[in-house]
């Protein structure tokens, strides 16, 4: 998925963008290869701008994005499905012209769900050891109303069945204990940080998870981490 030549200057790992095009433009202003962890759109002021920036970088071979849960919902809507159209998604859909919608759907169908590069592993929602043994099929089938199994873990993390006061699901971090020794998982999805910096959690198995969602597009800011060439 990533050629060594593309990573000659190292990697830049970017957290959830959620429509913050101005911040994302700064993140892309690098000679490093960019891996964006999913949830490009919704909530922020310019989801269409974010998509144009990401698609241009993708087509130029300067970066890629992983499929996040908001990206999956967008793809279902663009492909004629019937996801729940909440106000952020409705605003995103209204901002896309026909050409951008077509480019976006094509890229979403081919976006990796998880990716390993050396001792670094990238996924949007949560890790499962099975991901080290297999890749999600491409292109994606967005006709399914319900995502299950390891794909659900990748997009949504590990739900507990409980809800927060705001109606959002409570998610467990037990999956961090399943990260093997020496592996670092970079993910987004859950805003776990309490100080505006990426949140790092060590697991019982010897690995660790780095959570990069620090609230871009939702009142916080966009975070990224630069990794050296391998």
Spell out the per-residue pLDDT of the chain, length 230, in tens.
665 556 678 999 999 999 999 999 999 999 999 999 999 999 999 999 999 999 999 999 999 999 999 999 999 999 988 778 899 999 999 999 999 999 999 999 999 999 999 999 999 999 999 999 988 888 898 987 788 899 999 999 998 778 777 767 778 899 999 999 999 999 999 888 888 899 999 999 999 999 999 999 999 999 999 999 87
Helix (H) or strand (E) holding 34: strand 33-36
**Chain mean position to CA 95:** 21
Q: What is the CA radius of gyration of the chain?
A: 16
pLDDT at 5: 53
What's the confidence (pLDDT) of residue 2?
67
How many other CB atoms are found less than 10 A from the CB of residue 140?
20
What is the model's pLDDT at position 195? Answer: 87
Q: Is the distance from CB of 179 to CB of 197 less than 8 angstroms?
A: no
Residue 109: per-residue pLDDT: 96
C-alpha 72/C-alpha 70 separation (Å) is 5
Helix axis angle for 69-78 and 98-109, nearest 10°, is: 120
- Domain map of the chain by residue range? 10-224
Q: Please, how many CA atoms are within 13 Å of residue 212, restricted to the half-sphere of its CB?
A: 25
Question: Options 3.30.70.100, 3.60.21.10, 3.20.20.150, 3.40.50.2300; which CATH number does 10-224 get?
Answer: 3.60.21.10
Nearest to 72 by CA among 158, 13, 171, 139: 139
Distance of CA 140 to the CA centre of its chain: 15
Give dist(CA 121, CA 145) in Å, integer. 27
Q: For tokens 């109606």, what's the residue?
A: 167
């Amino acid at each position: 998925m990533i050629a060594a030549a593309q990573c000659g200057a190292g990697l830049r790992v970017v957290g959830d963008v959620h429509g913050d095009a101005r911040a994302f433009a700064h993140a892309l202003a690098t000679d490093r290869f960019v891996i964006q962890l999913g949830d490009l759109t919704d909530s922020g002021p310019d989801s269409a701008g974010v998509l144009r920036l990401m698609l241009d970088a993708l087509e130029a071979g300067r970066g890629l994005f992983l499929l996040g849960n908001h990206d999956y919902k967008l793809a279902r809507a663009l492909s004629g499905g019937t996801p729940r159209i909440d106000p952020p998604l409705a605003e995103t859909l209204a901002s896309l012209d026909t050409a951008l919608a077509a480019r976006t759907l094509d890229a979403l169908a081919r976006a990796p769900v998880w990716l390993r590069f050396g001792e670094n592993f990238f996924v949007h929602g949560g890790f499962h050891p099975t991901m080290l043994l297999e890749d999600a099929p491409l292109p994606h089938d967005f006709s399914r109303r319900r995502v299950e199994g390891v794909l659900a873990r990748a997009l949504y993390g590990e739900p507990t069945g409980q809800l927060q006061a705001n109606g959002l699901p409570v998610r467990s971090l037990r999956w961090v204990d399943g990260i093997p020794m020496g592996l670092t998982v970079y993910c987004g999805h859950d805003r776990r940080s309490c100080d505006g910096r990426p949140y790092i959690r060590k697991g019982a198995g010897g690995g660790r998870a780095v959570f990069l969602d620090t609230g871009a597009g939702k009142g916080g800011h966009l975070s990224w981490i630069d990794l050296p060439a391998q």
